[in-house]
Amino acid sequence: MASYDVIVIGSGPGGYVCAIRCAQLGLKTACVEGRETLGGTCLNVGCIPSKALLHATHMLHEAEHNFSKMGLKGKSPSVDWKQMLAYKQETIETNTKGIEFLFKKNKIDWLKGWGSIPQAGRVKVGDEVHEAKNIVIATGSESSALPGVEVDEKIVVTSTGALELASVPKKMVVIGAGVIGLELGSVYARLGAEVTVVEYLDAITPGMDAEVQKTFQRTLKKQGLSFVMGAAVQGVEVKGKKASVRYKSRKDDSEATLDADAVLVATGRRPFTDGLGLEDLGVALTARGQVKTDAHWATSVRDIYAIGDAIEGPMLAHKAEDEGMAVAEVLAGKAGHVNYGVIPGVIYTHPEVATVGLTEEQLKAEGRAYKAGKFSFMGNGRAKANFAADGFVKILADKTTDRILGAHIIGPMAGDLIHEICVAMEFGAAAQDLAMTCHAHPTYSEAVREAALACGDGAIHS
């Protein structure tokens, strides 16, 4: 029986980052992973492969729509779907091998197989039982099932099947206008599919700033995506190679159907803890099946911790990574901390959408006096040169103290721009602090400064 200070179950961004930090802090560490490769959903069938397809199809979009405007004439590229999938696969492999290299470098044992916890202090992988002073559950999440919809991962797919459809569908129905639906819907729309998104609510991307939601939906419509809003999908019927999606309007209960060659079910994810033996161990779960943890990620059973999608909070790789590092510090006797108030969220469409902190709707609900500084990318020279002037930066700051409370960006490189504001928020900065910081010209970042200026005496270029 091998003995460890820490065994981490799951090698997604939460688990592998936790294992590396544990090892760096001098703890003897192993990580259990049953997939053929390390990296979990994110690297194998999530963030990384979807970004490869988003990048490739964005290049196609640029070639088809903007090249000739810049004087780049000639034959526009045609799509070799097999090659695009091979490029995606290569991207996955270089990333997952990178994690394997980091495990070797940090002397972390990869226990290959699916793990369970027969008792506190023990982790079983295959026929072998290993001893662990501490166990960290980092088993992630899986796509939620939708009643009346049977997924075959060929015609009716989750995000996993959507990353390797046999061919580009003529018609695609996406169920759910959340992050997955809009990112992968964009990929197929750019490849020429007729994409219709069916959404239960009246706005896309639930929980986001309402102004961003509206601009985002308008932009996606311009890119060819269609939306059926306020409609609850009742079922999907597959006949041969065609599917028919039946939905009911929430307004008047009327029913309608949509035909499709592929249906993407993107109605949320749920924690994945099957087979761990949590019930027998007495590990408490929430009503939504998340592992219950305290402020230090400890579960209800001593020396068992949990992080990432398996616990409460946004299902985001970087939130899991932060928890992974913090719990490692706790296990090493240090003070691990995650500031849940400053966790950015990014949607990697084009334009990108990025958000951090509170929305205007949340501030209004709290009755907090705030000011909003907004700047359109139309006033940003670099964005105009690059055909990327759709969208805006909005910074929300306390009306009296000027402290930044949130930021919402739709526009070019929004996912990168947001971090300047995250750092500012971590330092408790005022909008004026950003406004007084020199920003290089010409950059997209100037739009962030202008939004900060708009919280004070006004932006220069609007």
Q: How far is the CB of 109 from ligand NAI (least distance, A)?
A: 30
Q: How far is the CB of 207 from ligand NAI (least distance, A)?
A: 8
Q: Binding residue for ligand NAI (CB under 6 A) from 25, 79, 129, 201?
A: 201
Residue list 145-174, contact with ligand NAI (CB under 6 A): 146
Nearest-5° Cα angle at 254, 249 to 257: 80
**Contact 225/189 with Cβ under 8 angstroms?**
yes
Q: Interacting stretch for ligand NAI, rule CB under 6 A, among 200-208, 252-260, 281-289, 416-424?
A: 200-208
How far is Cα 266 from Cα 205, in angstroms, rounded to an integer? 12
413 contributes a contact to ligand NAI by CB under 6 A: no
Residue list 107-146, contact with ligand NAI (CB under 6 A): 146
Q: Interacting stretch for ligand NAI, rule CB under 6 A, among 120-128, 194-202, 251-259, 354-362?
A: 194-202
65 is catalytic: no
Nearer to ligand NAI among residue 179 and residue 389 (C-beta): 179
Q: Interacting stretch for ligand NAI, rule CB under 6 A, among 286-294, 344-352, 373-381, 395-403?
A: 344-352
Residue list 230-269, contact with ligand NAI (CB under 6 A): 232-233, 266-269
How crowded is the C-beta side of 15, counted as CA atoms within 13 Å?
32
Nearer to ligand NAI among residue 135 and residue 208 (C-beta): 208
Q: Binding residue for ligand NAI (CB under 6 A) from 17, 84, 316, 395?
A: 316
How far is Cα 340 from Cα 78, in angstroms, rounded to an integer? 44
How far is Cα 404 from Cα 370, in angstroms, rounded to an integer? 9
Nearer to ligand NAI among residue 6 and residue 198 (C-beta): 198
Nearer to ligand NAI among residue 228 and residue 372 (C-beta): 228
Number of residues that bind ligand NAI (CB under 6 A): 26
Q: Binding residue for ligand NAI (CB under 6 A) from 181, 344, 351, 406?
A: 181
Q: How far is the CB of 115 from ligand NAI (least distance, A)?
A: 23
Q: 3-class DSSP state for residue 364?
A: helix
Sign of CA dihedral 185, 245, 263, 158: positive
How far is Cα 301 from Cα 280, in angstroms, rounded to an integer? 11
HEC states along 235-271?
EEEEECCEEEEEEEECCCCCEEEEEECEEEECCCEEE
346 contributes a contact to ligand NAI by CB under 6 A: yes
Q: How far is the CB of 176 from ligand NAI (least distance, A)?
A: 3
**Encoded amino acid at 96, one letter:** T
Helices 13-24 and 81-105 pack at an angle, to 10 degrees, of: 20
Q: 3-class DSSP state for residue 386?
A: coil
CA dihedral 70, 74, 80, 83 (to 10 degrees): -70
Q: 3-class DSSP state for residue 207?
A: coil
Nearest residue to ligand NAI by CB is 178
How far is Cα 297 from Cα 21, in angstroms, rounded to an integer? 16
Q: How far is CA 336 from CA 315, 329, 428, in A?
A: 20, 5, 20
How far is Cα 141 from Cα 330, in angstroms, rounded to an integer? 24
289 contributes a contact to ligand NAI by CB under 6 A: no
Residue with tokens 């309007």: 249
Nearer to ligand NAI among residue 130 and residue 269 (C-beta): 269
How far is Cα 418 from Cα 349, in angstroms, rounded to an integer? 15
Q: Binding residue for ligand NAI (CB under 6 A) from 17, 155, 179, 393?
A: 179
Paired with 330 in beta bridges are none
175 contributes a contact to ligand NAI by CB under 6 A: yes
Q: How far is the CB of 346 from ligand NAI (least distance, A)?
A: 5
Q: Binding residue for ligand NAI (CB under 6 A) from 347, 413, 425, 431?
A: 347
Q: Interacting stretch for ligand NAI, rule CB under 6 A, among 26-34, 96-104, 249-257, 308-316?
A: 308-316
Q: How far is the CB of 50 from ligand NAI (least distance, A)?
A: 7
Q: Binding residue for ligand NAI (CB under 6 A) from 33, 109, 199, 450?
A: 199
Q: How far is CA 13 from CA 41, 42, 43, 129, 316, in A?
A: 9, 7, 8, 25, 9
Q: Interacting stretch for ligand NAI, rule CB under 6 A, among 310-318, 352-360, 419-427, 444-452?
A: 310-318
448 contributes a contact to ligand NAI by CB under 6 A: no
Helices (H) and strands (E) in the chain, counts: 14, 22
Positions marked catalytic: 441
Which residues contact ligand NAI by CB under 6 A? 146, 175-181, 183, 198-201, 206, 232-233, 266-269, 314-316, 346-348
